[in-house]
Structure 1
Amino acid sequence: MMTVITETTLKPGQEQEWDRAFEERIGAAKSQPGWIDAQLLIPEDEPNKRIVVGTWRSRDDWERWHQTSTFQQTREPMNRSTADDGRPEWHQVRAREAMEA
């Protein structure tokens, strides 16, 4: 199991457009082979930042997802809203346990 973390800085005023496209993208990702989980983090002191934490069975599954039409369709509005998109950072998951709030 692999987790990929990507930090993105959005252009001022583009948060809603990016968030809408991300919601569409993540909704479709749930049906992709190898998808396990995803979180969207917004730092309290930087509302124009987005940190995506996605967990996949393998990096190959994630890469295949990037070739799907839904991923490609959401790329344009997200890129238009992005000022700076960080490079994905990969982490091998050694332990994962569901916690209740």
Structure 2
Amino acid sequence: MITVMNRISVKPEFAEAFEERFRTRAGLVDQMPGFIRNEVLRPTQEGKPYIVLTYWESREDFERWTNSEQFKQGHARSGSLPREAFNGHSELEVHELFLNSVEGKPA
């Protein structure tokens, strides 16, 4: 399993609009093979980024998503917020799960 973390720095005056965009998202990723779940984490400290976290069965599944027509359709809505809503570029990180504490054993 992998996680894909996108750190997105949003200016405070655009936070509600950013959150609404996720509340009303197209949901196309939910039907993709290998997709497990999506979480959006709100910062609790001023100036820290939102974190959009997705879980995938494999990196290949994630890459198929990013190369799919559904990805293009889902992200076409990204223009709904102006460029000035964000503080710079988002930062994408991919991690491989090696330990699951819920099960108490290596993943």
- Fold match, TM over 0.5? yes
Aligned partner letter, 2:95: W
Which residue number in structure 2 is paired with residue 72 of structure 1? Answer: 72
Within 2, Cα distance between the matches of 1:29 and 1:89?
17
Within 1, Cα distance between the matches of 2:82 and 2:101?
31
Q: Secondary structure at the match of 1:44?
A: coil
Aligned partner letter, 2:86: T
CA RMSD of aligned residues (A): 2.8
Gap regions ≥5 residues in structure 1 = none
* Higher Cα Rg, which structure: 2
Deviations 1:2-46 (A, max 9, x none): 112221102443334433443415x22111100111211111123
Within 2, Cα distance between the matches of 1:60 and 1:16?
33
**1:10-49 paired onto structure 2 within 5 Å:** 10-23=10-23, 24-25=25-26, 27-46=27-46, 49=49
Is the 1:40–1:53 contact (alpha carbons within 8 Å) kept by the matching residues of 2? yes
Identity of aligned residues (%): 26
Within 1, Cα distance between the matches of 2:28 and 2:41?
19
Gap regions ≥5 residues in structure 2 = none
TM-score by length of 2: 0.67
Within 1, Cα distance between the matches of 2:19 and 2:70?
15
